[in-house]
Amino acid sequence: MSAKPKLYYFAGRGKMESIRWLLAAAGVEFEEEFLETRDQYEKLLQGGSLLFQQVPMVEMDGMRMVQTRAILSYIAAKYNLYGKDLKERALIDMYVGGTDDLMGFILMFPFLSAEDKEKQRGIIVQKATSRYFPVYEKVLKDHGQDFLVGNNFSWADVHLLEAILMVEEKKSDVLSGFPQLQAFKARISSIPTIKKFLEPGSQRKPVPDDKYVETVRRVLCMYYDVKAN
């Protein structure tokens, strides 16, 4: 296996993007193998690399890891982005879980029809501004610290910034009523490893386009229509 982590996924965001974000935040260089054909996917399946017959899959530290949450937890723990004790880890897990729920409304957006996309856009913004962002706004205001947990940079901060930027792609002024989150976004974006990942030419993936959608459908044999939440 490569000395660098190697990521197996499509040339787009999907479930792998949060893994890219976390590795980048930790300052870890990684390689990628993009799935473009069904044959590539079948080869991974037949070789036993995909434990549950799903990607993402990451080769790292002599392991072939699947299941996004397990991969992220490993990376966070390995690079000291998972709190200093069990209580902080529990808080990080809660905040990451909430952010995951919000991201879930965005993940399948590219696969929707044009009509359903407009409906889903409204749902994403409504959920973000009424359920999720108020929680993080209050946390930051109440403890008056720079980061979500223990006043140390953690996985929770990386995940939340990723989600904020994703929602802003749906509505650019979505943080207008959240001054704490506006300041948080500026702080986290200025961290050197994050700043580098946000610059053009990084391994951060762009907003999914029709080519990405068609590749995923072809490789995974997705011939059904996805419906809005």
Q: What is the pTM (predicted TM-score) of this model?
A: 0.94
Burial 177-206 (b: 16+ CB within 10 A, else e): ebebbeebbeebeebeebeebeeeeeebbe
Domain residue limits, the chain:
6-79+198-220, 86-190
Which pLDDT does position 153 carry in this prediction?
98
Q: Which tokens hold the place of 54?
A: 């799903």
pLDDT (tens digit, 9 = 90+) per residue, 202-211? 999 999 999 9
Q: Which CATH architecture has domain 86-190?
A: Up-down Bundle (1.20)
Which pLDDT does position 4 carry in this prediction?
95
pLDDT, average across residues 93-101: 97
Among 21, 58, 10, 9, smallest CA distance to 203 is for: 21
Indicate if 86-190 has the same CATH topology as 6-79+198-220.
no
Q: Which tokens hold the place of 161?
A: 């910034």
Which pLDDT does position 83 carry in this prediction?
96
Q: Which tokens hold the place of 93?
A: 């897990």
pLDDT (tens digit, 9 = 90+) per residue, 11-59? 999 999 999 999 999 999 999 999 999 999 999 999 888 889 899 999 9
Which pLDDT does position 227 carry in this prediction?
55
Return the percentage of the chain with pLDDT > 90, whole number: 90
pLDDT (tens digit, 9 = 90+) per residue, 132-174? 999 999 999 999 999 999 999 999 999 999 999 999 999 999 9
Q: Given pLDDT bands bounded at 50, 70 and 90, which one contains residue 1?
A: very low
Parallel/antiparallel/unpaired status of strands 31-34 and 63-66 = unpaired
Domain 6-79+198-220 CATH (choose: 3.40.630.40, 3.30.2010.20, 3.30.2350.10, 3.40.30.10): 3.40.30.10
